Amino acid sequence: MANYWFIDIFFIFGGRFLKTAFMDIIEGINGKNNRVFKVFFEENFSSIVMFADKYLDDMEAAADVAQECFIRLWHGNQTFESEDKVKGFLYTTARNLALNELKHDALVSRYVQKGMLESEEYLRDNVVEEEVYAIIYKAIDELAPQSRKVILLSLQDLSNGEIAEKLGISVNSVRTLKQNAYKRLKGLLKEYFYFLFLLDFTSWS
């Protein structure tokens, strides 16, 4: 079942924060401005890769698909009016290219059975999910190295004891690093405070 609460939160709040910044680069994308396009590419490439990987289950192939999406965006003659149009072009192109890769693959049958290939609902849900997690992981990348390791291991559902063993530190150190990371992430994600609960910090103790 689709996570409609998740979609609603993003479009009501996240869309509001992101729209202004995105609209500032629409003119640059339409005008094929190298500097603007480079910034846009760097900010969105990983999200397209993760989206394509949901179909391909192959990160290298997904990266190739994402690269081709941006090549087509650069060389295309489209004129975009909004953030939705540009990202819609990228994600739709990624989906179509990924499906072409799977055309003769047994995975196609499995996805068809799940109703995932042509489902606009599936496309929309996953586009939003990848953009949200791209924001979260970008914030995690800003943490100190040891804190970042602890948080990433926590997101893999490892217990404090398992994290401590992997990193060669005490359980108390793991707890302290989690608490410090939470405070730091609250600051980094202050404009996206409604994303914090997605990380389930309540279990980080």
Integer Cα distance of 202 and 205 in angstroms:
7
Specify the pLDDT at position 164. Answer: 93
Q: Are residues 23 and 88 in the same domain?
A: yes
**Residue that terminates a domain, selected from 132, 160, 189:** 132
Q: Are residues 90 and 122 in the same domain?
A: yes
pTM: 0.48
Q: Is 76 left (phi over 0), alpha (psi -120 to 50) or beta?
A: beta
Specify the pLDDT at position 112. Answer: 55
Number of domains comprising the chain? 2
Specify the pLDDT at position 99. Answer: 82
Q: Is the C-alpha dihedral spanning 155, 159, 162, 163 positive or negative?
A: positive
Return the closest-CA partner of residue 172 out of 180, 70, 65, 97. Answer: 180
Specify the pLDDT at position 8. Answer: 45
**Residue that terminates a domain, selected from 132, 157, 185:** 132
Specify the pLDDT at position 191. Answer: 65
Which residue ranges of the chain lie beneath pLDDT 70? Answer: 1-23, 83, 103-133, 191-205
Q: Are residues 115 and 21 in the same domain?
A: yes
